[in-house]
Structure 1
């Protein structure tokens, strides 16, 4: 049984449709990536999951509980937004302790480990914290909870690369413990590293879902080629994109489905250097958005 199931959910604000017929299901122990640019509908969908806003149409179930009817499901969720607000006159430790107490969590050893891991000074008042430190307080509090579903909405906003890595390691730990994670982000490399499956949302609609390997039909492969001959005609091929010249080398992207045609074209030249790079989630993302504008 999925820990989270979203069935054809729509959210209207008057005549404006922010989310339309969104469906997805997250299994226990799965990290699910939810990607799209700012304004695509990611945060609106999450707000409906956590009950912050109502659902216009459709249903959302957490651990088989209908979120519009049974608020007991909230005990199953731990949520971190992308822009955290804290009580300004409380210290970081006081905020963490309060949130732990609210969830009935008493493992202070785990709390202290996380504070050290995230390099937080917990004795400063929250009003003195930078955006990154406020984010750390929220993440520590979330990882201290014994939730079944962790929802992170742009969770590494404001964190430096070292702390981003720390966050990634903690998400992997959750997965090993059989917990589920919904990771909403526009940082594609982050989702690519962590997610088992992804959904791409555009203009409030899910336009692609699946495992990374299953989305090969909208990818492009990167090639770096070099020749002592004039290979400039390659730049004019319909399936070749984003061409950059670096000395004698051409750096370019080729539509995945046209790779056989591209390799046949290369046979007509005396290529002295050929290098490829595998498709990345960012290539999938950009390709799809370019194609669907």
Structure 2
């Protein structure tokens, strides 16, 4: 079952493009990464999913139902953490969370305490006394207090120190093991690499790649470094070779293609050392953007 289905989704803000012809499917139980730099269209896609804005064309479905037509119904099963959080400053944390919990037909008291303890959040402080990081913790508790079936996170770790980030990731993994589907939008690639099963890369409002993390790293580009005397760049100016750089006695490049072709080229030179490794997700990501 697909929890999220997006078909030909397009959004213009006047004459400015938000996203264009986006197609995406997220399966039940996945931790799905959605990566791209600021302004690529990540938040626009999420706001369309949540029915906060309307599409110019195309459609989005959640749990098999149209995100606009059945918005109030499907949002009951969604936990959402936006990138920017704004609250009623004069309220205490516990009062705000109890108010949020009142929208759901269940007792969330125990759940609020459990998540607050994990995230080391003081429930008795006033919102306007909190740091940015502690306000983000409030958002995390608010998004998870009703045990949602779908958790949508938009740049969720801003303001969290590394220890809190790890506790948050552990919490998300527990939610996923419980059965929750997670849609994790970020421009921080190490986060996506640690958590996600599959990833979509968005560039200038369009999806340029959807792949599982392991395949993206292992069956995609190879990062090759060659050390030797009298190396010539022309030897490796082949189809599938990119980012070819020569520095003194070393050549480095990325390669995607027939492995026999590149090994033939490597065997034709007098090399002192050859290194072939998987590129990091960040290097793959930058390749798509360059």
Give the alignment's TM-score, normalised by structure 1: 0.86
CA distance in 1, matches of 2:234, 2:115: 51
The question of whether the paired residues in 2 share the 8 Å contact of 1:34 and 1:200 is answered with yes
Deviations 1:255-286 (A, max 9, x none): 23376555444443342x55444232212211
For residue 24 of structure 2, give the secondary structure of its aligned residue in structure 1: strand
For residue 6 of structure 2, give the secondary structure of its aligned residue in structure 1: strand
Tell me the residue number matched to 2:23.
23
Superposition pairs for residues 84-233 of structure 1, below 5 Å? 84-215=85-216, 219-223=220-224, 226=227, 229-230=228-229, 233=232
Tell me the residue number matched to 1:254.
254
Instruction: State the Cα RMSD in Å.
Output: 2.6
Q: CA deviation at 1:217?
A: 9.4
- The number of aligned residues is 285
Query: 5+ unaligned residues in a row in structure 1: which ranges?
Result: none
The question of whether the paired residues in 1 share the 8 Å contact of 2:108 and 2:146 is answered with no
The question of whether the paired residues in 2 share the 8 Å contact of 1:132 and 1:157 is answered with yes
For residue 103 of structure 1, give the secondary structure of its aligned residue in structure 2: coil
CA distance in 2, matches of 1:95, 1:252: 54
Give the alignment's TM-score, normalised by structure 2: 0.87
Matched, 1:241 2:243: yes
Query: 5+ unaligned residues in a row in structure 2: which ranges?
Result: none
Deviations 1:92-113 (A, max 9, x none): 2222222222223424333222
Tell me the residue number matched to 1:3.
3
Q: CA deviation at 1:210?
A: 2.2
Tell me the residue number matched to 1:66.
66
Q: CA deviation at 1:143?
A: 2.1
